[in-house]
Structure 1
């Protein structure tokens, strides 16, 4: 099976949408368009030629076409009918192909660094969309297609915004049903523990985060907590707490007139000299220089 990866932060733009009736007589009429095209069969079978490949799509089956991919209807039938939508995506979908080991690379928890508040990474995770897929509950998708077409045919107000949301929901339905149909996708218990750890640290980082307090809150041994956090975050708890404190300190340096000693105390450092050493280690410059640069707009 071939797959596309839709980055979670992609901007989706619906260009055109409609319904194709196989009995319309537009058989062997070749089509190309510069956008992605999602087809969902309402009534099958539907006979299509996609490139060199001849396909028979059943009711409830979806097909995702690439930009400029040649396609045409092969056979006129009395019942063949499918919805279609052409759309663009920025960034574009990433084509994975049939040989990709998606079970390892695209697990539901593959974007773990984004759980951290200090992470600046974006769109590293996404929806796994099969190129061709048989839906078990096709009526929900067809209902969304009808909403999409209604918005397109009777535009009013922020209709393009609503169309983008509907399309995102449709792609989400396909991706979610794929996930539910595969044993490859799961959320380990340790990942849930990791999220609890992150939430706890985000709320308590300005305090003296003691081993005993973490154990009581999470009801786990500290050694296990450290192991789980390092596994998913790639850094230690101590490092993350320092990052959180410096993140807050940077805001205070740029947006307050508090002294370095006051800022150090507010973010959890008892020793302002140690605060300065940690700040320089993480940011590559001292708190004083950082404040001076932000004052003249260099940061």
Structure 2
């Protein structure tokens, strides 16, 4: 089952902690009006929600839903984290990872990958997709999640100002991390018809975002991706709405805007650092993509930031 999680709504954490059972133990029966998240550190946890049985091991994540009975069905030794919380913006998406749902998830990621990080408009989806049960294979991601949970438990124990708010923010961060990992591993590798095309475009986006400061030619891209440039341009446009060249220029101008806002470098240096060697062409391209020259943009920034001269 895949759950839809609205990240615009902050989860409200009531209780968080970890337990370590060195002798075999069976989870007690209960039915509560809140969600319970389990993340296993070691050992095994045998738990049943309604009539569905789960065997949880290290790296497993299970989200138990509110008002559905759950209980253990076999004794075992285990070490796990738990989080009790409420959230009105969680809905069931699908019992399985269908082609339609996978495409929806991939299209959502694609919108983020091609978005303008400096844009003031926030028209991107606030939805993330979380599997009810998921196994985290990536050890570094799992370590990162354990770290978030350990920090949250420490805050819960200390009870400093707004501690539950911080814990709730950490839980939101944790869910987004799980959603990203799920999309990167399970969804991108699912056997839907256009998955290979998506992955090629996604890899090309990653390549451009990494190498935008270099001189990127169609020959370079063909050689790197071992595909005809016209074909790559066609599938890139069909999935992003941009040609490859337009996207490269867009990334360069976004990075240039960041440098104008955060440094005192001259425009020639900025142009060179984002992969545009000609000052004239940089100014022309900047105006084409932003509607103002670099000088006009800098003046606007200086007016908007008090004390900046």
Counterpart position of 2:99: 103
Cα distance between partner residues in 2 of 1:239 and 1:21: 59
1:63 deviates by: 7.2
In structure 2, the partner of 1:254 is 261
Measure, in 2, the Cα distance between the counterparts of 1:197 and 1:109.
15
Show the counterpart of 2:15: 16
How far does residue 282 in structure 1 lie from its aligned partner after superposition?
2.1
Give a deviation string over 1:203-226, Cα, whole Å, max 9, x none: 433344222222222222111221
Distance 1:271 1:93, change over 3 A: same
5+ long unaligned stretches in structure 2: 20-25, 40-44, 57-61, 136-144
> 1:37-65 deviations in whole A, cap 9, x for unaligned?
4699x66777xxxxxxxx54546597743
The Cα of 1:291 is off from its aligned counterpart by 0.4
Aligned residues, how many? 258
Aligned to 1:36: 35
Q: Distance in 1 between matches of 2:266 and 2:257?
A: 13
Q: Distance in 2 between matches of 1:246 and 1:293?
A: 16
1:235 paired residue number: 242
1:176-232 Cα distance to aligned partner (Å, 9 max, x none): 9xx59x966698233332233223323433344222222222222111221232233
263-272 vs 97-106, which moves further: 97-106
Deviation of the 1:104 alpha carbon? 1.3
**2:112: which partner in 1?**
114
Contact 1:60 1:134 in 2 (8 A): no
Asked whether the equivalents of residues 236 and 242 of structure 2 are also in contact (C-alpha less than 8 Å), the reply is: yes
After TM superposition, give the deviation of residue 285 of structure 1 in Å: 2.5
Counterpart mapping for 1:198-237 below 5 A: 198-237=205-244
Larger Rg: 1
Matches of 1:169 and 1:277, distance apart in 2: 39
In 2, distance between residues paired with 1:114 and 1:248?
16
**What is the Cα deviation at residue 266 of structure 1?**
4.2
Q: How far apart, CA to CA, are the structure 1 residues paired with 2:114 and 2:266?
A: 28
| Alignment equivalent of 2:128, drawn from 126, 129, 139 | 126
Q: Which segments of 5 or more consecutive residues in structure 1 lack a partner in the other structure?
A: 47-54, 136-143
- Secondary structure of 2:106's counterpart equals coil
Map 1:191-202 to 2 at 5 A. 191-202=198-209
Is the Cα–Cα contact under 8 Å of residues 9 and 123 in structure 1 kept in the other structure? no
Q: Distance in 1 between matches of 2:254 and 2:214?
A: 15
Say yes or no: does 1:280 pair with 2:287. yes
Q: Distance in 2 between matches of 1:65 and 1:157?
A: 28
CA distance in 2 between counterparts of 1:134 and 1:264 reads 45
**Distance between the aligned counterparts of 1:219 and 1:71, measured in 2?**
51
Q: Deviations over 1:10-67 (max 9, x none)?
A: 8655423698634xxx8xxx854xx434699x66777xxxxxxxx545465977435x
- SS state at 1:21 partner: coil
Distance 1:170 1:289 in 2: 39
In the TM superposition, residue 94 of structure 1 has moved relative to its aligned partner by: 4.0
